A and B are shown apart, each in its own frame.
Chain A
Amino acid sequence: MLTRDTRDPATRPRLLLSLLALVLLWPGIRFSELDLGVLLASDSQSEMGRFVAAFWPPAHGDEFVELLWQTTLQTLAIATAGMALALLLAVPASLLASRALSLSAASRAGHPGYWGQLLRWPVRGLLIFLRSVPEIVWALLFVRAVGLGPTAGVLAIAITYSGMLGKVYAEIYESVDQRPAHALLQSGSSRLAAFCYGILPNVAAELLSYTVYRWECAIRASVVMGFVGAGGLGQQMDLSLRMFAGGEVASLLLTFLALVLLADQLSRLLRWRLA
């Protein structure tokens, strides 16, 4: 009795876990070639130091401000156009992928038929594929296909975000009360009508707020995508970095910050209005 009590059952798992962590840490450090010293090393610090010192004052010539304004507009336009295209793809895909509109489920106490499940999987797989490849990889691929410029960015956002939106929309449809839609389906209405009258009223607010929230994410994404040549603030930032123009980088970063803050406020306002 006492011998059993004096042994801590957690000792062995803890010991094994710590050992595992130690064993993994060594190759991890080797593979990532981790060296915190470079942040403090003197020569790189002076090189970095000169670059960072050039951050002040931020570039503010008339010409550059005009350029800033244009690229900011371009970034906003990329995000908005990309979202619009993504919606075109996401809405039908989510309707196909969601179990909420299963005819067989309506007559089988909520359990969709075997064949319906089998047909839904390819759509779900496609959506998973679209959103699992990072948007900047899509951007890189499209830059090779359609050339440098915002078109590649728009297409990349459209592809990635249709995957994200499609998946989340499908989940939202399934999360609400299914009985109104099932009742409509059982009384012989078409699936689309059942969706519009049975599900849409319940989910509209959540769909809108999620879409607006994603639009905000798309703005950040479109800035990042510029680094592979897909237009907008990011592309300008990449150019300035390559030319070691510290002041321009500083202005671009500040603009990026202001844009993100603004989008955050606007998205909050829209969600509050639409909810």
Chain B
Amino acid sequence: MNRLLNVVMVLCIGVAVVASFVYLGIDLGELGDSGNLQRMAAYAQRFLSPDLSPGHLQAIGRGALETLAMSALGTLLAAVFGLLLALPAAGRFGWPLQSASRLVLNALRAVPELVWAALMVLAAGLGPNAGTLALALHTTGVLGRLFAEALENTPSEPADAIRLQGGNAVLAFCYGTLPNLLPQLLAYVLYRWENNIRMASVLGFVGAGGLGQMLYVSLSLFQEAQGSTVILAMLLLVLAVDSLSGWSRQRWVKA
């Protein structure tokens, strides 16, 4: 019986895959025929000679710094607001505030970054400010939920002990809860930052600044050489942030 169910499931997956190709009308044979491949190769070839002129590199450097600033500030803002919303969401101030803040967090999280960016471009105009706000809004939802979970799982005895010797609630949180919580919060923030540097480099596609905007513009103008330099810069940026965050994790979270 179990075996039969498994077979049926595998069959279903196979049918779903075939149906997908049919529905989309993708003909793999046509996609892979020699003429098509040749055109693709010619297109790819144009990326092989990246534009390394000093003027372009300077523009890219500025774009990279913009992207980095967007991702870092967006994550930082999200960490602050996420913590502020996580406190009520973990049930610290009674259930009406708990359900209200959970609703806000879920709504913020449900809308993808790109949609937030498109909305923020409407509100704040073109440029990195829109991207930063978009990242901050979406990430607040994600981090707020993770923080709330972490808060609920932190033992309460140390904070209770502080209350018991006369400290007020804020001090009990700072001395009793925060030391246990901080490594976990930091781990979540670093993980989101790794994610946000990737997002920050593509938010420009809807006009929210950074490297993405440069890439979008140069590809629209059929300047593949410039575009390939931008992609290289994105790669470097992502790898750099990954290793920086890995190092911080080693240094402050695991220790």
Q: Do chains A and B touch in the complex (CB under 8 A)?
A: yes
Q: What is A's interface to B at a CB cutoff of 8 Å?
A: 24, 27-36, 38-39, 44-45, 47-48, 51, 73-74, 76-78, 80-81, 84, 129, 132-134, 136-137, 140-141, 144-146, 150-151, 154, 220, 223-224, 227-228, 231, 234, 237-238, 241, 249, 253, 256-257, 260, 270, 273-274
Against A, the Cβ 8 Å flags (1 = close, 0 = not) of B49-90 are 000000000000000011011101110000000000000000
Contact status B122-A47, CB under 8 Å: yes
Contact status B73-A150, CB under 8 Å: no
- Chain A contacts for B26, CB-based, 8 A: 81, 150-151, 154
Give the number of A-B contacts (CB < 8 Å): 148
- Chain A contacts for B73, CB-based, 8 A: 28-29, 32, 34
- Chain A contacts for B234, CB-based, 8 A: 133-134, 137
8 Å CB contact of B69 from A32, A38, A151, A270: A32
Contact status B24-A133, CB under 8 Å: no
Contact status A140-B216, CB under 8 Å: yes
Contact status A134-B198, CB under 8 Å: yes
Against A, the Cβ 8 Å flags (1 = close, 0 = not) of B123-136 are 11101110111000
Specify the chain B residue showing the minimal Cβ separation from A76.
B20
Specify the chain A residue showing the minimal Cβ separation from B132.
A32
- Chain A contacts for B131, CB-based, 8 A: 32
Q: What is B's interface to A at a CB cutoff of 8 Å?
A: 5-6, 9, 16-17, 19-21, 23-24, 26, 31, 39-40, 43, 65-66, 68-70, 72-74, 110-115, 118-119, 122-125, 127-129, 131-133, 198-199, 201-202, 205-206, 209, 215-216, 219, 231, 234-235, 238-239
Contact status B24-A151, CB under 8 Å: yes
Specify the chain B residue showing the minimal Cβ separation from A51.
B122
8 Å CB contact of B205 from A51, A80, A140, A260: A140
Complex Cα–Cα for A177 and B132 (A): 46
Specify the chain A residue showing the minimal Cβ separation from B220.
A144
Specify the chain A residue showing the minimal Cβ separation from B222.
A144
